Amino acid sequence: MALKFHISTSTYSGEESKVKRYICSFDYWQMLSLFVLLGTGLAFIYSTGIQSGNDGFFYRQLFWVCVSVPLYFIFAHIDTRIWQVIAGPFFVISLLLLAVVLIFGTKISGAKRWLDLGFFNFQPSEVAKLALIVLLARIFSSPDFKVNNLFSLIFVLFLIILPFTLIFLEPDLGSALLLLPCSGVMLTAAGLSRKWIFSLLGAFVLLVGILAANEYFQIKPLLRSYHRARIMAFLNPEDAPRDMTYQQRQSELAVGSGGLWGKGIGKGTQHALGYLPQSAANNDFIFSVIAEEWGFFRSLGLLLAFLLLCLRLLCAAYYAEDKFSSYMALGIATLFFTQIFINIGVNVGIAPVTGLVLPFVSYGGSFLVVGMASAGAVQSIWRKNHDKN
């Protein structure tokens, strides 16, 4: 599956050769995209803070950036063989954390998604996403695993359902649904036959249809009332209660009012006038703030930074020297891409509100720490490939 990627380097002697080789081993395009996203996030979290007279969010985010950047470089030096060894225990620990948060978690807005660690609230679902990707990569890369065997598929589906169910019960439907495309893409890359792909897609569509009918006719509802309200508000925005579509409408207004070049950083009106509260403006709806203050063209630059990041992660997956590294990088790339797509989709009105943050840009420590660690792991995969060439 993997192809060798040869990087032409000059011949050096002794210590100079080692230093040059070390410097050249990094994927600087991936690093550039990450630091552009982190810088953009800090700029607009600061912008929303000065408009509301509360710059505490900016300093807390700056703290998490200072924590996550060194973590990124630490994980960039961890050999992927270590990930293979800890895949099982890591997954079990993530499940235990998801169980603990259901019992002892801090309830915010009716949901138990966070563990109060004193100095910040930690979201175990972020760890669970990475843990599932690592475990699936370990399983799919095993020579004994037969992807098109019925019992193998049942086992894999069981592993996916475990974290999905625990995250769904928090409830955090958005994060739970993120596990599906990651697992699906990794399964397909592992060689799942067309017969099984279409069978699983058909079963998934049938299951979604049954669940939708169950929710619509209120037979035995599984979704919380606000989940159903969000979905119905998305499908029928004109008939939905005004408070259910308020933030999304204000987000769309902000995006549209930015025009081609924007109003300037700190000069957006949707947040300044209170139409988008700070808790939403620096988090789930930060892209609407960026679009209003930066405009279409500069927001397009942000999208290009996201595209560059995802492409570099896919490059690491494609050129990886072993299957485990390839699957792991592919899963992380899919996770980032899906979350970016959904968050921006919510901001521009093409997806229902899910509560997913914009990776590396939105305010919040949990995703930033785990996300930077994940990106660092892919950087390690790239460096390992470089060292072998």
3-state secondary structure 43-75: HHHHHHHHHHCCCHHHHHHHHHHHHHHHHHHHH
pLDDT at 240: 64
Angle at 283 between CA 130 and CA 252, to 5 degrees: 120
Tokens for 149, please give them.
Answer: 């065997």
* C-alpha–C-alpha distance, residues 76 and 82, integer Å: 12
Q: What is the pLDDT of residue 356?
A: 92
Is residue 319 within 8 A of residue 158, CB to CB? The reply is: no
Burial (CB count <10 Å: 0-12, 13-18, 19+), residue 15? exposed
Among 61, 70, 66, 175, smallest CA distance to 124 is for 175
What confidence score (pLDDT) does residue 148 get? 95
Cβ atoms of residues 262 and 354 within 8 Å? no
Q: Tell me, what's the pLDDT at 239? A: 65
Residue 10's CB is within 10 A of a number of other CB atoms, namely 7
Q: Specify the pLDDT at position 145.
A: 94
Helix (H/G/I), strand (E/B), else coil: 30: helix
Q: What is the pLDDT of residue 83?
A: 97
Contacts (Cβ under 8 Å, ≥6 apart) of 44: 265, 282, 286, 289, 290, 293, 361
What integer pLDDT is reported at residue 388 of this predicted model? Answer: 64
Q: Token pair of 38, please?
A: 């982190």
Q: Between helices 28-52 and 365-387, what is the axis angle to 10°? A: 170
Per-residue pLDDT of the chain (389 residues; tens, 9 = 90+): 444 444 444 444 567 788 888 888 999 999 999 999 999 999 999 988 887 677 889 999 999 999 999 999 999 999 999 999 999 999 999 999 999 999 998 887 778 899 988 778 899 999 999 999 999 999 999 999 999 999 999 999 999 999 999 999 998 989 999 999 999 999 999 999 999 999 999 999 999 899 888 887 888 887 777 667 777 767 777 666 666 778 888 888 999 999 999 999 888 888 778 788 777 889 999 999 999 999 999 999 999 999 999 999 999 999 998 999 999 999 999 999 999 999 999 999 888 888 899 999 999 999 999 999 999 999 999 998 876 66
Contact 387, 25 (CB under 8 A): yes
- Strand boundaries in the chain, DSSP class E: 106-108, 111-116, 121-122
pLDDT attached to residue 14: 63
Q: CA angle 356-211-147, nearest 5°?
A: 75
CA dihedral in degrees (240, 244, 246, 252; nearest 10)?
A: -80
Q: How is the chain split into domains, by residue range?
A: 32-387
Closest CA to 51 of 306, 247, 263: 263
Least Cα distance to 176 among 358, 313, 356, 371 occurs for 356
Predicted pLDDT of residue 246: 80
Q: Give strand pairing partners of 114.
A: 106
DSSP β-bridge partners for residue 116: 121
Lookup: tokens for 35: 């630091």
Instruction: Return d(Cα 323, Cα 264) in angstroms, integer.
Output: 46
The reported pLDDT for the residue numbered 1 is 43
